[in-house]
């Protein structure tokens, strides 16, 4: 994955941030919105695009665009860096293919230990009861 070419495909928009902040928040556009058009990206193969579409289906718009925003910092540049880092981490994690699970069964000794422990526990609880007269 070529991160520099991927970053060039991103579109950014600066928006006025919401929330507390006094006069500063009303006059400065510090919130950064990142838009990535997954369908028209030239950086991914068809298989990678399908995997990303599947993994990110809850985060994509109807046009298969990924929208991320950041308004943590009061600096527009810092918010842009943060949203790019978040985007790259999200794409990297989404492209990972999970390992196939190998079915295993417990060993004989572990089964015997479990049953033995259950019997001891039952025996212990049986002695806690009031004796029958």
Residue entry with tokens 């600096």: 75
- Residue-range domains of the chain with CATH: 3-95 (3.30.160.20)
Is pTM beyond 0.75? Reply is: no
**Helix or strand run (H / E) with residue 121:** helix 108-126
Q: From the centroid of its chain, how far is CA 2? A: 21
End-to-end distance of the chain based on CA atoms, in angstroms?
A: 78
**Helix or strand run (H / E) with residue 18:** none
Please answer whether residues 30 and 65 qualify as being in contact, where contact means their C-beta atoms are separated by less than 8 angstroms: no
- pLDDT tens by residue, the chain, 133 residues: 788 888 898 999 988 887 776 777 778 888 899 999 988 888 889 999 899 999 988 988 898 899 999 988 888 899 999 999 999 999 999 988 889 999 999 999 999 999 999 999 999 999 898 888 7
d(CA 87, CA 10): 10
d(CA 3, CA 71): 23
């Amino acid at each position: 994955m070529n991160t520099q070419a991927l970053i060039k495909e991103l579109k950014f928009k600066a928006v006025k941030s919401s929330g507390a902040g006094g006069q500063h928040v009303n006059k400065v556009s510090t919130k950064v919105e990142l838009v990535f058009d997954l369908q028209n990206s030239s950086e991914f193969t068809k298989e990678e695009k399908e995997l990303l579409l599947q993994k990110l289906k809850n985060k994509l718009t109807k046009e298969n665009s990924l929208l991320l925003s950041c308004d943590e910092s009061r600096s527009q540049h810092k918010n842009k860096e943060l949203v790019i880092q978040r985007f790259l981490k999200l794409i990297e994690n989404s492209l990972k293919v999970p390992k196939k699970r190998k079915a295993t069964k417990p060993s004989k000794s572990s089964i015997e230990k479990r049953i033995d422990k259950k019997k001891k526990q039952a025996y212990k609880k049986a002695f806690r009861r009031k004796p029958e007269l």
